[in-house]
């Protein structure tokens, strides 16, 4: 492992945004800066944010797209940001999104001559199908993302399922699976923390609790969860949802419409990791029948606290789950999920055993994950220096060379 590398991390989201990729980038930066080398983060500007990190966080201008997509969109050709990045010591650029982050990364690469690693986290093929109705615009978006992916000097994915999503976009190059870790320590939260959770949600210590933590979006499988629980609402349980998202109001209304108003508890997103740890510890089973997520980080967070998960069969989140051993898998039929939940309510000892195996077999710390990634940086840098990557002569490559030439000329005359 080559210690002391200067790693520039780029992503379209970073705290105060709370999502899996933002959390990933923060952990990369924290661990690299603390133990391995030096980090800087480049991400879109958010109003009233004060960054207090032991490494630089460079924010570039952005526009609000929260109504449409839930995020702000960065404007990656900002000359001041480019100038600041050129002044940063950079050995490798690690982009975590193939959209604006890769646009910025490709511009900077042409100016500082350092390689780009791209980690592919999300199912952008699914996003394009869901968010864009026009086939013509879908093709344009797919082509743009694919061009950015193919422009990377190394491509990593967080799971085999993310790799399949890349293939669905049309990517035919090589990729390396580099799984994400968990920033919760292995082990349960304290008894006092669990008691505080009981008081907060208004349940006693004996009431079984199902849990979901994440963005409140229908594509997370939340309709299936509610439709399953309506089938067993005569049983004794509570369903705890923790998170925010564009579909939250609809989800709350739907829970009431199907007669689960007194069985469901909705809490806002939580930044405090110890508090999240207490929610995981208090819950008896984590419900995550999502086909969207490429990693299912929350499944591994639940495992860290000794809580097993119910995942969707053949989904990315279920890749490491062995049904009946360290978790449970179901199909898309709400009736199947309902039966699994009913069985677990009647056999709490089975839930505990699944959780113990999940903690032993599914846990991966962020320290181990980032160290593995950091070790792989050296090979990417070596290959780049030795020109082992194919020549880039596409239209978009010529565009970025022209942009870089413009910046160099502008700086020369300033």
Domain spans of the chain, in order of start: 6-181+366-413, 191-361
| 223 in Cβ contact with 257 (< 8 Å) | no
Q: Alpha-carbon distance 366 to 305, whole Å?
A: 15
Question: Is beta strand 309-312 parallel, antiparallel or unpaired with respect to 38-44?
Answer: unpaired
Burial class (CB in 10 A: 0-12, 13-18, 19+), 121: buried
Q: Domain 191-361 is classified in which CATH homologous superfamily?
A: Glycogen Phosphorylase B; (3.40.50.2000)
Whether 6-181+366-413 and 191-361 share one fold: the answer is: yes
- Of the candidate CATH numbers 3.90.1150.10, 3.40.50.2000, 3.40.50.920, 3.40.1440.10, the domain formed by 6-181+366-413 belongs to 3.40.50.2000
On the question of pLDDT at 414 being above 60, the answer is no
For residue 136, the number of C-alpha atoms closer than 13 Å in the C-beta half-sphere is 0
On the question of pLDDT at 412 being above 70, the answer is no
**Residue whose structure tokens are 């949802």:** 241
Q: Tell me, what's the pLDDT at 66?
A: 67
Q: Alpha-carbon distance 134 to 136, whole Å?
A: 5
The DSSP code for 362 is S
The DSSP code for 188 is P
Q: Tell me, what's the pLDDT at 411?
A: 65
Tell me the per-residue pLDDT of 122-155, one tens digit each, with 9 for 90 and over: 877 666 777 777 888 888 888 899 999 999 999 9
pLDDT higher at 391 or 209:
209
CA-only gyration radius of the chain, Å: 22
Q: Tell me, what's the pLDDT at 35?
A: 96
Mean pLDDT of the chain: 92
**pLDDT category of residue 71 using cuts at 50, 70 and 90:** confident
pLDDT higher at 393 or 98:
98
């Amino acid at each position: 492992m080559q210690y002391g590398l200067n790693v520039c991390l780029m992503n379209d989201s970073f705290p105060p945004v709370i999502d899996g990729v933002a959390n990933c980038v923060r952990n990369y930066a924290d661990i690299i800066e603390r133990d391995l080398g030096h980090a800087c983060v480049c991400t879109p500007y958010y109003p009233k944010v004060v960054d207090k990190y032991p490494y630089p966080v460079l924010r570039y201008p952005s526009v609000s797209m929260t109504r449409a997509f839930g995020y702000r969109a960065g404007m990656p050709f900002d000359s001041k940001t480019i100038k600041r990045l050129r002044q940063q010591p950079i050995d490798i650029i690690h982009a975590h999104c193939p959209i604006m982050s890769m646009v910025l990364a490709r511009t900077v690469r042409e100016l500082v001559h350092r390689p780009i690693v791209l980690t592919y986290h999300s199912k952008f093929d699914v996003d394009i199908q869901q968010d864009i109705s026009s086939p013509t615009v879908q093709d344009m978006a797919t082509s743009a993302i694919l061009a950015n992916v193919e422009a990377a000097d190394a491509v990593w994915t967080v799971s085999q399922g993310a790799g399949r999503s890349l293939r669905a976009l049309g990517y035919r190059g090589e990729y390396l699976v580099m799984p994400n870790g968990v920033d919760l320590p292995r082990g349960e939260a304290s008894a006092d923390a669990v008691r505080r959770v009981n008081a907060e949600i208004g349940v006693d210590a004996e009431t079984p609790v199902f849990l979901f933590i994440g963005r409140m979006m229908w594509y997370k499988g939340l309709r299936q969860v509610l439709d399953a629980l309506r089938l067993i609402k005569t049983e004794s349980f509570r369903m705890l949802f923790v998170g925010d998202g564009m579909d939250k109001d609809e989800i709350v209304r739907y829970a009431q419409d199907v007669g689960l108003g007194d069985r469901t508890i909705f809490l806002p997103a939580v930044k405090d990791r110890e508090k999240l740890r207490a929610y995981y510890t208090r819950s008896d089973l984590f419900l995550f029948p999502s086909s969207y997520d490429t990693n299912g980080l929350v499944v591994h967070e639940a495992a860290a606290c000794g809580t097993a998960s119910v995942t969707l069969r053949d989904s990315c989140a279920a890749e490491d789950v062995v049904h009946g051993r360290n978790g449970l898998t179901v199909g898309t039929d709400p009736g199947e999920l309902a039966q699994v939940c009913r069985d677990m309510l009647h056999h709490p000892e089975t839930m505990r055993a699944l959780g113990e195996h999940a903690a032993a077999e599914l846990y991966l710390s962020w320290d181990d994950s980032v160290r593995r990634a950091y070790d792989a940086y050296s090979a990417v840098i070596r290959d780049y220096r030795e020109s082992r990557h194919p020549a880039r002569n596409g239209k978009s490559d010529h565009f970025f060379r022209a942009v870089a030439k413009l910046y160099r000329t502008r700086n020369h005359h300033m």
